[in-house]
Amino acid sequence: MRLSATDAALLKEIPYLPHDHVTDILEEAGLLARTEPACATTAWAHTRIAPLPTAMQAQVEVWLTVMRDGTTRTPRQRPRTKATIRLHLSSALPALAHWAQHGATTLCEITSGDITTVLPAPGLERSRMIGGLRSLFRVLTARRLLPTDPTQQLSPGGDGSTIPLPLKVEPTRQALESADPAQALLCALIAFHGLHRHQLRHLRLTDFDGEGRLTTGDRVIILAAPVRERLAAYLQHRTHCWPATGNPHLFIHVRTAVTTACVGPAWVGQHLGPHLTTRTLRNDRILNEAFATGGDAKHLSEMFGISLPAARRYTSVLGHPDLNSPNLHTPTP
């Protein structure tokens, strides 16, 4: 008897069971029928874009496929989460519907002026719409389905929630001093060196050379002394808990220890605690560097691997009245 994919999905309700690996084993043994239902996000997207003109629907479909599956074509892109896909499409749909109602049948007809016309007033809704449209037009332009990207010159604008501001020191200090070695190391790598979540998840043991240097992508980072201390404590903890694991990644847990997979995004968020996120910690670190260098955008770009426009987002707040006398500093243990 073969299990259906629906039946196998019930295994997810069992705590600490590595569902994906169990289903892979069942499939290899010929005990699983891969009759997966249509992706719920894809079905949702099809329903939402159904009222649009046929050509516009086809263009959104291309974007949806790239976002869902990723692409190895230049420019390469990793698959995005279902939440990201839904947020971008929901944010862009009011603009698409407006253009369709006013006679546009394809996104090739849309200009930067058309986009400016439909944007809401400055605030979170405006920022989200620009983010959704920018994602859509960038993918289509990269695939040469549009002559130009009309969102290229747009500025997100928005409300104060988009302005990088320093964190309160206490939650960071508590995470750095946590009895959980994984939490302490995660926080230290972000708070001292500005690593983002994707980098943390994919760090490998071989990325550390044993002499206090970390190589991630094109960056070679000389680890701060507090980070080296927490790295040593975590490695000792890792060896004690999973002495026989063959997983090459730095961060592992009870499920990934028996595989070669990296930890998931949720694991990173849960281990940082309720008052911290990778984004706010990284923002705080970059903002600190912006003040330390007097607003050197090029330095920020090279140090943290961000674009110059992104770096200027941090340097632009140096004159903010609430930050005239900031109590900014790199966390200390």
Fold adopted by 168-333? hpI Integrase; Chain A (1.10.443)
CATH architecture, domain defined by 40-160: Orthogonal Bundle (1.10)
Q: Going residue by residue through the chain (333 aa), what tens digit of pLDDT does each one get?
A: 666 655 665 665 565 566 666 766 776 777 766 544 446 788 889 999 999 999 999 999 999 999 988 888 777 888 888 888 999 999 999 999 999 999 999 999 999 899 999 998 877 788 889 999 999 999 999 998 998 899 987 765 444 446 677 888 899 999 999 999 999 999 999 999 999 899 999 999 999 998 899 998 888 999 999 999 999 999 999 999 999 999 999 999 998 999 999 998 889 988 888 888 898 899 999 999 998 898 898 998 888 888 888 888 888 877 766 665 444 444 544
Show contacts of 162-166: CB within 8 Å, 24+ apart. Answer: 162/124, 162/127, 163/317, 163/320, 164/283, 164/284, 164/286, 164/287, 164/313, 164/314, 164/317, 165/283, 165/287, 165/317, 165/322, 165/323, 166/284, 166/287, 166/288, 166/323, 166/326, 166/327, 166/328
Which part of the chain has CATH 1.10.443.10? 168-333
Whether the pTM exceeds 0.85: the reply is no
Which part of the chain has CATH 1.10.150.130? 40-160
CA-angle at 188, arms to 78 and 271, nearest 5°: 65
- β-strand pairing of 213-216 with 219-222: antiparallel
